[in-house]
Homo-oligomer: A and B are copies of this chain.
Amino acid sequence: MSERVWTAGVIVIGDEILSGRTQDRNVAQIGIWLNVQGIRLREVRVVADDEAAIVEAVNILRARYDYLFTTGGIGPTHDDITVDAIAAALGVPVVVHPQARAILEGYYAARGGLNPARLRMARVPQGAELIPNSSSGAPGIRFDNIYIMAGVPHITAGMLAELTGTLEGGAPLLSRTLGTRAPESEIADLLRETEKAHEGCQIGSYPFFREGMVGANFVVRATDQARLNACADALKAGLEAAGYAVTEGGI
């Protein structure tokens, strides 16, 4: 009997990620958080601050996955076009959300007051709900299965914390990591055969080259703890039989 697997996509919006000026950190934090919610991140797209590009990605990914998260482009400046683009994708107008306006009035009361640029951050696709922002006033936005988050990673981290436990998901993917100094090319057969012998388990192989040492971390993943351990234990025994010391948790 196969379980329902819940899935998500992420769209990272921003010229600064594509130019290499800014190192994205949201994909990894959202991927880790989704897994704890029992949801698998299946696909990420990074697109420019360009309405047509955002609309295309939003309409494909919101239909393809159970959940869609976007990051970036919800600030107060002219290059922040995410809300307008998502509203265009949805075919709904953009409106000022009264609660978002009230939040921003409170937040900016001691910071020079609400001006037109700041009020932009109260704009939402009509029918949307807010996602609380514990660190900087301007809220995130939810519309159906779309979660519109900030570009600044610690603000998105706070929004994810607010959402924890509120999304329907399945069984979280469990994992166990085994590190060795083995070149992965010497134990490729063992990896493939161990995975094949353990239904419901996947083994990922992640080589590293550090301080002149060659090695690899093997990550065994499964939703069932007993199956996970049976597979990881078999892999560990196989690595040790081949003469490699194994470090639980990885190197």
Binding site for B on A (CB under 8 A): 12, 15-25, 27-33, 35, 40-49, 53, 75-80, 111-112, 115-118, 120-121, 135-136, 152, 154-155, 173, 175, 183-186, 188-189, 191-192, 195, 202-209, 219, 221
Kindly list chain B residues whose C-beta atoms are within 8 Å of the C-beta of A115: 185-186
Copies in the complex: 2
Least Cβ distance of A46 to chain B in Å?
Answer: 4
Least Cβ distance of A113 to chain B in Å?
Answer: 10
**Given contacts A24-B24, A192-B77, A206 and B16 within 8 Å (CB-CB):** yes
Complex: chain B residue closest to A118, CB-CB: B185
24 A-B pairs, CB-CB below 8 angstroms? A16-B219, A17-B44, A18-B42, A18-B44, A19-B32, A19-B41, A20-B30, A21-B175, A21-B206, A24-B28, A45-B45, A46-B46, A75-B184, A76-B184, A77-B184, A77-B192, A77-B205, A78-B205, A79-B205, A111-B183, A112-B186, A117-B185, A117-B188, A117-B189
Kindly list chain B residues whose C-beta atoms are within 8 Å of the C-beta of A118: 185
Kindly list chain B residues whose C-beta atoms are within 8 Å of the C-beta of A79: 202-205
CA distance A219 to B19 in the complex (A): 11
B43 adjacent to A185 (CB under 8 Å): no
A77-B191, A79-B204 known, 20 other contacts, Cβ within 8 Å: A15-B202, A17-B31, A18-B27, A18-B40, A18-B41, A19-B32, A19-B41, A21-B175, A23-B25, A24-B27, A42-B48, A42-B53, A43-B48, A75-B207, A76-B188, A77-B185, A77-B188, A121-B185, A136-B209, A152-B208
